[in-house]
Chain A
């Protein structure tokens, strides 16, 4: 009797094990099949950290207004591009427009600008005030390793009356693929010929000098703990973390801060969309219109698939974000996007279907 019992338990255990294994495999298969098809009334997004503060407000407002839940994972522009390419989200977000290679990989994707803000150039110099003055040429020379000390004449003569320390400058940059880096290097491209020929612009470039850090949080972490460091992040991030940032000289000859006024003026710079809906508004030309323009501004893009299983919920949300959603921007230093950008976005959205 006893041996029979043990045999029974053994068979039972084996069958149990088999069942668990089969159900685990089935769960994995079903999960992968259901990737982007989250239940009705929920939208999934992932990508850039840059628009994340505004999207956080949108999530609350949109759910209470329309009853549709939106989740957003701020994993960086690169992560957002990977997520939409692999169809694991309903929308991705990137601060840099997709490169041709990225469009090819993300078969059937469209992008449209949906958020407008600025990249701040931050510094850690205890004892010196906020909004010191700097020019694009000087920023480029610092990141090229040609200006190495804070008391260099090219810096001090822009800031008369301030006493700069004889301190080594440590440039800090993003080590991950970043739309903020794209915005920053695109600006340096226009400000310095040597930068353009030696380094160029991109989400990852070959930084001649300095240290890399992961994400805006990494950059601000290293910057805030390294005296003499200079770095860059979106203005909302700099404000939230109480970091000092520069007033940057624009081509009209004025020193502008990365505020709403400066961003609005800069947004008048480029009204011609590229074939992929990209707009570039860095370093606007000299002219009365751009007198107050801050030179390092950028649109951030939302990435969608033209064939999207949740199109019925997705399209109203994107339309809302382009229109009603913009009113929540100014408090977080996001300038509402101009009308012609809204129109372009709505037109592009027509190509998205389920």
Chain B
């Protein structure tokens, strides 16, 4: 409370020079109202979700997290495969998106001539504006068949000895397709944040390094990356958050299978995808409740990722300031 009173201008602030300033007072209360609305809304959502999930939480307990059944007719529900699918697709996509995005950002800030920058920048950002349902449709009609006919056999042929590529893809809908779709969604977010970060690196530092005879790569490695470290970490986690929560595009391409996949070329499912596909019109009350239980897990996941981001940013930023 003490820290809050320091940063918030109390009503006393409106009485400078002995006069009440109605404009400031109104602005204060309007913005306060907006801020409170956000808090109240979040609390209401959390309450509602927990209340709806309660029957399933009571029936299945924590065993729900590891159970791998999803059989409405036998009333057996578990989140195991969906947690696994969410983790694999999000982390897999992040693994692909991180180097691509950072490379794009580097190219646009450090290497590309101005006119190329002016073309590529908006194009990358336009990628973020593609509605996810359209991206999902593209996944079914174009990406899926391409994986089956070309990409899949090539990867399976050369890397088939690694278990995650151990099966031949028969159908385009798979964990692998979901990873590629999520990568496409993550790239614009991560790369545009990284670009801003790299632009924020003081010119003097870079020029100093160049004056000492550093190559461009040495400038990037020695000056740009260390300076932007905290921001890059935060950007990656924002991208991860995008992957965890994406529902529609994933549900269109992942194949929605409850069995634990043994290879990336097999269908699977994620938490968000399962909620999106089955919440409407579920046959049984306990099925609805179990789906909301999945939402609770997803909420906790997202919260954990956000907290993790805060911790990383603080720690890295702190270390940076010291050095």
Chain A residues close to B by CB (< 8 Å): 7, 10-11, 13-15, 17-18, 21, 75-82, 94, 99, 101-102, 104-105, 168, 170, 172, 175-177, 199-207, 210-214, 218, 221-222, 225-226, 228-229
Contacts and interface: CB of A to CB of B under 8 A. Distances in A.
Contact of A176 (B137, B141, B280): B280
A206 B71 contact: yes
Interface string B139-164: 01100110010000000000000000
Contacts of A202: 72-73, 283
A177 B288 CA distance: 12
Closest 8 CB pairs of A and B: A78-B281, A212-B256, A177-B281, A175-B256, A78-B280, A206-B71, A200-B73, A211-B255
Contacts, number: 141
B251 A206 contact: no
Q: What DSSP secondary structure best describes chain A's contact surface?
A: mixed
Given A15-B26, A211-B256, A204 B283 contact: yes
A177 B256 contact: no
A202 B257 CA distance: 16
Contacts of B258: 206-207
Contacts of A82: 280-281
A263 B208 CA distance: 82
B281 A14 contact: no
B267 A14 contact: no
Given A205-B73, A218-B252, A170 B170 contact: yes
B285 interface: yes
A202 B22 CA distance: 62
B22 to A, nearest CB: 6
B251 A214 contact: yes
Given A200-B74, A211-B267, A213-B140, 4 more contacts: A17-B30, A76-B280, A205-B73, A225-B145
6 contacts: A11-B23, A200-B73, A204-B278, A210-B257, A212-B257, A226-B145
B198 interface: no
A101 B283 contact: yes
Nearest to A221: B140
A14 B26 contact: yes
Nearest to A172: B171
Contacts of B36: none
Q: Looking at A77, A99, A105, which has the most chain B CB atoms within 10 Å of its CB?
A: A99
Contacts of A13: 23
Contacts of A212: 173, 255-257, 267, 269, 277
